Amino acid sequence: MRHIFYIHAFILFNVLLSAPLFAQPQTQSYNLPIEPDSKKVMYREVVEQQGTPAYLYDKAIEWFGYYYLNPQSIYSVQSKENGKIEGLGRMKITYSDEASGVMKDAGVIVYQIKLELKENKYRYTLMDFNLKGASRYPIEKWMNKSDPAYNSNWDSYLYQIDTTMQRLVSTLKEKMKPTVVKKDEW
């Protein structure tokens, strides 16, 4: 019986010693691509993909339907003839309320999305990221840690934006690939 007491005391002691390690806030790293001329966040890449502009356009429209709940609310330009799709995307950001430990709504980020389609390639551009509000609030302001108004939640917001945009790009690239049709041979 005494033996069990010592084992429990040892476990409790180790848990209490390691508790500060778990209580430390985790810094979330992000790698937002900055366009050198404008100094703004911009995700842009030309992707080689077999297909005519019309075929790639159809694949892009299919992806919009897959990725966004209501793609019709996104589009501002849909031109199959010119190989161009443009619109405004939105994503929610959250923060952790330290008092309750519950994730709370921190606002909506609005960004411009643009797809340009040519023979055997397409280019995506994600740019003009702003916190939705009465006036534009560019997310680049959150990168300034010397700002007197700096808030530690800003790093979390930038991380959320970066991971969401990376997920958007990876699903876009995957859905733009040709669909493999399997024959039902039996």
Domains in the chain (CATH in brackets) are 29-176 (3.30.530.80)
CA–CA separation, 61 vs 43, rounded Å? 19
- Residue 117's pLDDT is 98
pTM value is 0.80
How far CA 80 is from CA of 59, 64, 71, 83, 179, in Å, comes to 11, 14, 16, 5, 20
pLDDT in tens, the chain (186 residues): 555 444 444 444 444 444 333 333 455 678 899 999 999 999 999 999 999 999 999 999 999 999 999 999 999 999 999 999 999 999 999 999 888 889 999 999 999 999 999 999 999 999 999 999 888 899 999 999 999 999 989 999 999 999 999 999 999 999 999 887 778 777
Phi and psi torsions of 83, nearest 5°: 65, 50
- Residue 185's pLDDT is 78
Instruction: With beta carbons less than 8 A apart as the criterion, state whether 93 and 108 touch.
Output: yes
CA–CA separation, 49 vs 178, rounded Å? 9
Instruction: With beta carbons less than 8 A apart as the criterion, state whether 106 and 95 touch.
Output: yes
Residue 42, H or E segment: strand 40-48
